[in-house]
Chains A and B, each alone.
Chain A
Amino acid sequence: MNTEQEALKMPRLDQPLAIQTCNLAFRWPGQTAVLHFPDIALPQGQHLFLHGPSGSGKSSLLGLLAGMQRPISGSIKLLGCHLDTLSASARDRFRADHAGVIFQQFNLVPYLSAMANTLLPCRLSRLRKERSTTAPEQAAETLLTHLGITRDHWYRYVGQLSIGQQQRVAAARALIGAPELILADEPTSALDTDNRDRFLDLLLDLARERNSSVVFVSHDQALARHFDQRLNLEARP
């Protein structure tokens, strides 16, 4: 498998690395094909654009970075912590404490309100709850307001929101408690161009404010210019 890394900026040595991977390889259980990934070195606060055709292993890489799967070889160091050596439950813990996640769609728990969905990470992780300077509810209100969710939508079931609104609530959930990492898997693919650009701007701005690093997966090359680093995964032969 061929990989290519375009480093636009050299990692600044005074910033600790948010992500550092080395010779990562992964195989889905029950499959023989092995995915190899290029090495990543992302300083804290910088954003990474992950690009590639379907089947190139973008989601698998995010799964590895999120600690949901374990690589068959190679190492992942997140925030100085060797993720690949942690147990499954410790990886869950790590994800709750240090990562926010945004999916392509269906990001929210249907039986909770927008507010409750946003607050979910603070309830799963004491660290996320304590990291925000204000009370979690207030932090959630600020985030939702910044992301353009009006007050009358806060306490409604998320099923009543539009797709664009749902994605913004998901962004608020990922950002709350200022996690060091935000993993976004094509979060704009269900949005139109206007919404897409607005969403990306908001996400990156708010992430920058919190010094969070965003790993953003998309097949849309036009978005790449917003990011400090780009990584292209190529299709499997």
Chain B
Amino acid sequence: MNTLRLALSLTAASLWYRRRALSLIGLTLTLSITLMLGIQYLRTEVRQSFTSTISGTDLIVGARSGQLNLLLYTVFHIGDATNNIRWSTYQALQNDARIDWLIPISLGDSYRGFRVVSTNDQFLARFRYGNDQPLSLTQGAWFNDLFDVVLGADVARRLGHQLDEQIVLSHGGGRTSFANHKDLPFRVSGILKPTGTPVDQAVYISLDAMEAMHVGWESGIALPGRVLSPTQARARDYTPTAITAVFLGLNQPIQTFAVQRELNQSTQEPLSAILPGVALSELWRMMGQFEQALLGISAFVVAISLIGLIAVFLTLQAQRQQEIAVLRATGASPGLIASLYSLECVGLSLASCLLALLLGMLGILALGPWLLEHYSLKIRLRPLRVDEWALLGAVPLAALAVSLLPAFATWRTGKQQSFQKPGL
């Protein structure tokens, strides 16, 4: 017990005495641990953020295509629909007793690079993300009028739009469109609360508005004289002929697979029904390969730093012969002297781990808002998970393992220590 206290106090004194020589390698170690821990932390956070993009929706139904494609264009607004589904199909779903709710969506137009999603009030009422969180508005109200538009949080923030501003939507996707629906401007009626999901990066109008905008656009461009003016548009009654996809929730989730199979085998129309959770995890598996590799690389960086640490200790060892001679002559055992090396290595790595934790915390606090703003990534400060602690704990253990090299060399030297002269 006494020996351990002595060893610890000698270790602390020695590390402090050599702080200048050791500070650089300590910094290297700190940065590499920060990198590794940061990647592991972000992995968890990003996966969390990713898999909580949509929740509560049992099935997404669209025209026949692969499940990833359907997921990408309905949820992430990436890519285009292969085809539409008929309005009659939607009506048939509405009459299905097993189905609790439906959110129809219709895609195709854009607003300065952001997707236009035309839907109905079910979107606000039924759509869930994260841990079953509903959507809500920070300002204004959900669209009520034919020419009302609701903006996602990102859209409002980046373009600096306020309530009641007039905006003109564009035909088709893309940031710059040559075909604008300039005859039918929209009024911003509401702005959604940030969610950290693709919901923030779209604008929302009614299904009727989508139909109204496209009267006279049947050939893909506006035919002069055929497009409607706002007053004409209000006078008409719209029933869509087709929509892009439907999000649906069932009364009893246990029926999900049955309904899915039925829809996939529908003879009315070629449909695809997907389970968003399954599709999301498949998508994550594809991207997960990359972050696995990243974690592996960062572990290598830590290993290289530890090797650097040992190189520094082995270099210092040459200067420490005298100290070893003094300690041996005073009666310290070779084991005690060897343990100094291991303790110093572990001590330095523990200090680095602590600094890395602090650095990571500060980094998240500093970069969190920026990440949310630019990448819609919600990175919150949370206690480390077990696997992250394990990763962090592996560092001092690895340091202990590599320190056995100089410790053993010192033990041998100490064992053969002669009076005053360094060992053989």
Q: CA separation between A183 and B420, bound complex, in Å?
A: 11
B63 to A: closest C-beta gap in Å: 75
Q: CA separation between A109 and B337, bound complex, in Å?
A: 12
Contact A107 B326 (CB under 8 A): yes
B30 to A: closest C-beta gap in Å: 22
Contact A63 B331 (CB under 8 A): no
Q: CA separation between A173 and B417, bound complex, in Å?
A: 20
B290 touches A (CB below 8 Å): no
B13 touches A (CB below 8 Å): yes
- Chain B residues lying within 8 Å of A88, measured Cβ to Cβ, are 415
Contact B326 A92 (CB under 8 A): no
Contact B424 A124 (CB under 8 A): no
Q: Which of these, A62, A63, A104, A109, contacts B327 with CB under 8 Å?
A: A109
A45 touches B (CB below 8 Å): no
- Chain B residues lying within 8 Å of A124, measured Cβ to Cβ, are 6, 330-332
One of A4-12, A110-118, A138-146 contacting the partner: A110-118
A215 to B: closest C-beta gap in Å: 11
B323 touches A (CB below 8 Å): yes
Binary interface encoding of chain B residues 399-420 relative to chain A, with 1 for a CB under 8 A from any of its CBs, else 0:
0000000000000000111111
- Chain B residues lying within 8 Å of A237, measured Cβ to Cβ, are none
B293 to A: closest C-beta gap in Å: 43
Contact A110 B330 (CB under 8 A): no
Contact A157 B17 (CB under 8 A): yes
B297 touches A (CB below 8 Å): no
Q: CA separation between A105 and B10, bound complex, in Å?
A: 21
- Chain A residues lying within 8 Å of B419, measured Cβ to Cβ, are 59-60, 62-63, 66, 68-69, 183, 185
Contact B331 A96 (CB under 8 A): yes
Which residues of B, 317-341, contact A by the 8 Å Cβ criterion? 322-323, 325-333
Contact B326 A108 (CB under 8 A): yes
Closest partner residue, chain A, to B421 (CB atom): A59
Q: Which of these, B16, B322, B330, B417, contacts A96 with CB under 8 Å?
A: B330
B94 touches A (CB below 8 Å): no
Q: CA separation between A83 and B18, bound complex, in Å?
A: 37
B239 touches A (CB below 8 Å): no
Which residues of A, 104-153, contact B by the 8 Å Cβ criterion? 104, 106-112, 116, 120-121, 123-126
Contact B13 A112 (CB under 8 A): yes
B14 touches A (CB below 8 Å): yes
Contact B13 A111 (CB under 8 A): yes
A228 touches B (CB below 8 Å): no
Contact B331 A110 (CB under 8 A): no
Q: Assuming the A-B contacts A30-B424, A60-B419, A66-B419, are A89 and B333 also in contact, with contact meaning beta carbons closer than 8 angstroms in the complex? A: yes
Contact A92 B332 (CB under 8 A): yes
B2 touches A (CB below 8 Å): yes
Q: CA separation between A125 and B2, bound complex, in Å?
A: 9
Q: CA separation between A89 and B424, bound complex, in Å?
A: 19
Contact A103 B331 (CB under 8 A): no
- Chain B residues lying within 8 Å of A110, measured Cβ to Cβ, are 17, 322-323
Contact B331 A123 (CB under 8 A): no
Q: CA separation between A62 and B418, bound complex, in Å?
A: 9
Closest partner residue, chain A, to B3 (CB atom): A124
- Chain A residues lying within 8 Å of B14, measured Cβ to Cβ, are 111
Contact B331 A109 (CB under 8 A): no
Q: CA separation between A144 and B6, bound complex, in Å?
A: 22
- Chain B residues lying within 8 Å of A116, measured Cβ to Cβ, are 13
Contact B329 A101 (CB under 8 A): yes
Q: Assuming the A-B contacts A68-B418, A123-B6, are A111 and B331 also in contact, with contact meaning beta carbons closer than 8 angstroms in the complex? A: no
Q: CA separation between A103 and B2, bound complex, in Å?
A: 26
- Chain B residues lying within 8 Å of A125, measured Cβ to Cβ, are 331
Q: CA separation between A111 and B329, bound complex, in Å?
A: 17
Closest partner residue, chain A, to B12 (CB atom): A111
A227 to B: closest C-beta gap in Å: 20
Q: Which of these, B18, B323, B418, contacts A109 with CB under 8 Å?
A: B323
- Chain A residues lying within 8 Å of B421, measured Cβ to Cβ, are 59
Closest partner residue, chain A, to B11 (CB atom): A111
Contact A63 B333 (CB under 8 A): no
A119 to B: closest C-beta gap in Å: 10
Which residues of B, 368-424, contact A by the 8 Å Cβ criterion? 415-421, 424
Q: Which of B2, B323, B418, B420 has the most CB of A within 10 A?
A: B420
Q: Which of A92, A173, A185 has the most CB of B within 10 A?
A: A92
Contact B331 A106 (CB under 8 A): no
Q: CA separation between A183 and B328, bound complex, in Å?
A: 14
Contact A123 B2 (CB under 8 A): yes
Contact B2 A68 (CB under 8 A): no
10 nearest CB pairs, A to B: A96-B331, A111-B17, A63-B419, A101-B329, A106-B322, A95-B331, A62-B419, A92-B333, A111-B13, A111-B14
* Chain B residues at the A interface, C-beta cutoff of 8 Å: 2, 6, 10, 13-14, 16-18, 322-323, 325-333, 415-421, 424
- Can you give 6 A-B contacts (C-beta < 8 A)? A59-B421, A88-B415, A106-B325, A124-B6, A173-B330, A185-B420
Given A69-B419, A96-B332, output 18 extra A-B contacts at Cβ < 8 Å.
A28-B418, A29-B416, A68-B418, A95-B329, A103-B329, A106-B325, A107-B326, A109-B327, A110-B17, A111-B13, A116-B13, A123-B2, A124-B330, A124-B332, A125-B331, A126-B2, A185-B419, A185-B420
